Chain A
Amino acid sequence: MKTWQTLPRSFRRYPVRPPDSGIARRKSIWERIHIDPWLLGMLLVLMAAGLLVLYSASGQRIEAVIAQSVRFGVALVGMVIIAQFSPSTFLRWAPLAYGVGLAMLVAVEVAGDVGMGAKRWLEIPGVIRFQPSEMMKLAVPLMVAAYLNRCQLPPRLRDIVVCAVIIGVPVLLTAIQPDLGTSLVVASAAVIVVLLAGLSWRLIALVGAFIAAGLPVLWMNMHNYQRQRVLTFLDPESDPLGAGWNIIQSTTAIGSGGLWGKGWLQGTQSQLEFLPERHTDFIIAVLGEEFGLVGMLMLLCLYVMIVGRGLWLATSSQDTFGRLVAGSIILTFFIYVFVNVGMVSGILPVVGVPLPLVSYGGTSSVTLLAGFGILMSIHAHRRLLPR
Chain B
Amino acid sequence: MPQRPDTLKNPGQELRIFRVRALLAVLVVVILTGLLTGRLAYLQIVQHDLYSTRSEKNRVRVEPLPPNRGLIYDRNGVLLAENRPTYNLTLVRERVDSLEETLTLLVELLDLPQDDIEAFNVRSRQRQRPFQPALLMSDLSEDQIARLAVNRHRLPGVEVEAQLLRYYPDAEVMAHALGYVGRINAEELKTLDTGRYAGTHFIGKTGVERFYEEELHGQAGLRKVETNARGRVLRELGRTDPVPGKNLTLTLDKSMQALAYELMDGRRGSIVAIAPATGEILAMVSTPGFDSNQFVTGIDVASYRGLQEDLDLPLFNRAIRGHYPPGSTIKPFLALAGLIEGAITPNSTINDPGFYQLPNDSRRYRNWLRWGHGRVDMERSIAVSNNTYYYSLAHDLGIDKLHEQMSNFGFGQRVAHDVQGESAALMPSRDWKRARFNQPWYPGETLSVGIGQGYWQVTPLQLASATAALANQGRWVKPRIAMEIGGEPLARDLPDTLPDIQLDNEAWWDRVFSGMEKVLTGHEGTARRTGVGLEYRMGGKSGTAQVFSLGQDQRYNAAELEERLRDHALFMAFAPLEDPQIAVSVIVENAGGGSTHAAHLARAMTDAWLLDNEAPDIDEIKEELEADTAGVEGN
Contact = CB atoms under 8 A, between A and B. Distances in A.
A308 B26 CA distance: 8
Interface stretch (B53-61, B75-83, B480-488): B53-61
Contacts of B187: none
B512 to A, nearest CB: 74
A257 B4 contact: no
B18 A196 contact: yes
B371 interface: no
B47 A327 contact: no
A99 interface: no
A345 B59 contact: no
Interface in A282-331: 288-289, 292-293, 296-297, 300, 304, 307-308, 311, 314-315, 319-320, 323-324, 327, 331
B126 interface: no
A299 B3 CA distance: 43
B227 A196 contact: no
Interface in B6-25: 7-11, 13-15, 17-19, 21-22, 25
Interface string A338-364: 100110011100000000000000000
Nearest to B130: A241
Interface stretch (A30-38, A165-173, A175-183, A266-274): A266-274
Nearest to B21: A196
Interface string A105-130: 00000000000000000000000000
Interface of B: 1-4, 7-11, 13-15, 17-19, 21-22, 25-26, 29-30, 32-33, 35-37, 39-41, 43-45, 47-48, 50-52, 54-56, 58-59, 129-130, 226-230, 234
A338 B34 CA distance: 11
Contacts of B39: 342, 345-347
A334 B22 CA distance: 13
Interface stretch (A6-14, A77-85, A147-155): A147-155
Contacts of A151: 4, 7
Contacts of A91: 1
B7 A293 contact: no
Contact of B7 (A94, A152, A254, A296): A152
Interface stretch (A41-49, A219-227, A245-253): A245-253
Q: Shortest 6 CB-CB distances between A and B: which pairs?
A: A255-B51, A256-B55, A198-B17, A272-B228, A273-B229, A255-B43
Contacts of A308: 26, 29
Contacts of A184: none
B29 A256 contact: no
Given A151-B4, A320-B11, A253 B22 contact: no
A272 B58 contact: yes
A97 interface: no
Contacts of B55: 252-253, 255-256, 268-269, 274, 289
B51 A251 contact: yes
Contact of A245 (B3, B9, B19, B130): B130
Q: Of A241, A252, A331, which is in contact with the most chain B CB atoms at under 10 Å from its CB?
A: A252
Given A252-B51, A256-B54, A345-B36, A311 B45 contact: no
B3 A150 contact: yes
A339 to B, nearest CB: 10
A245 B52 CA distance: 17
A324 B228 CA distance: 49
Contacts of B59: 268-269, 272, 274
Interface string A179-202: 000000000000000011110000
B36 A341 contact: yes
Contacts of A198: 14, 17-18, 21
Given A254-B40, A319-B11, A338-B32, 17 more contacts: A151-B4, A153-B10, A196-B21, A196-B22, A198-B21, A251-B43, A255-B48, A255-B54, A256-B54, A272-B59, A272-B226, A274-B55, A274-B59, A300-B33, A320-B18, A323-B18, A338-B36
Contact of A304 (B15, B33, B47): B33
A296 B43 CA distance: 12
A152 B9 contact: yes
Q: Of A149, A153, A255, A315, which is in contact with the most chain B CB atoms at under 10 Å from its CB?
A: A255
A197 B25 contact: no
B29 A268 contact: no
Nearest to B55: A256
A153 B17 contact: yes
B51 A254 contact: yes
A288 B10 CA distance: 48
Contacts of A150: 1-4, 7
A350 to B, nearest CB: 15
A109 B18 CA distance: 37
Nearest to B44: A293
Contacts of B8: 152
A360 to B, nearest CB: 19
25 contacts: A146-B1, A150-B1, A152-B10, A153-B14, A196-B18, A196-B21, A254-B40, A255-B47, A256-B52, A256-B56, A257-B44, A258-B48, A259-B44, A288-B40, A292-B44, A296-B40, A297-B37, A300-B36, A304-B33, A315-B18, A320-B11, A327-B21, A338-B36, A342-B35, A347-B39
B1 A274 contact: no
A154 B17 contact: yes
A197 B17 contact: yes
A288 B44 contact: yes
Contacts of B227: 272
B40 A95 contact: no
A92 interface: yes
A259 B1 CA distance: 53
A296 B36 CA distance: 10
Contacts of B18: 196-198, 314-315, 320, 323-324, 327
A327 B25 contact: yes
Contacts of B29: 304, 307-308, 331, 334
Interface string A149-164: 1111110000000000
B58 A269 contact: yes
Nearest to A148: B14
